[in-house]
Amino acid sequence: MADALHVELVAADRTVWSGEAAMVIARTVDGDLGVLKGHAPLLSLLTQAVVEITSDEGHTVVAVVDGGFISVANDRVSVLSEHALLSNEIDVDAARTELEQANDGRFDSADEAERAIRRAEAHIRAVERAS
């Protein structure tokens, strides 16, 4: 489709999603970023958060990444992360358990607990947004 973005969401071990889209929304270290056709080139760091990819037909693909990079150039968007999951691949009960354990102080360090909280919250948000 000539009027669309070509989007690739890639984890270290696989291509999570690839296709044509009207819009991509991701959270960078500088804040939320929305990408439409004709967006200026950029390279930015992602935070551990939800990525939304909207097709021209209005269908939205929701995924969660654990950080990484987003690159935009010539109507091509690459989202690169060590770990990425589509919302339908997330075990929301396991994420809620991890969040509960992190909030109850069951981790050895505050940094480990904070990472677990961010990860669990991002997983839960991805499932909720996809619903």
pLDDT at 95: 95
Contact 36, 22 (CB under 8 A): yes
Higher local confidence (pLDDT), 98 or 78: 78
Domains of the chain with CATH codes: 5-86 (2.60.15.10), 91-130 (no CATH)
pTM check: above 0.85: yes
Nearest to residue 55, comparing CAs of 21, 96, 90?
21
pLDDT band (50, 70, 90) for residue 88? very high
pLDDT, tens digit (0-9, with 9 covering 90-100), for 30-83:
999 999 999 999 999 999 999 999 988 889 999 999 999 999 999 999 999 999
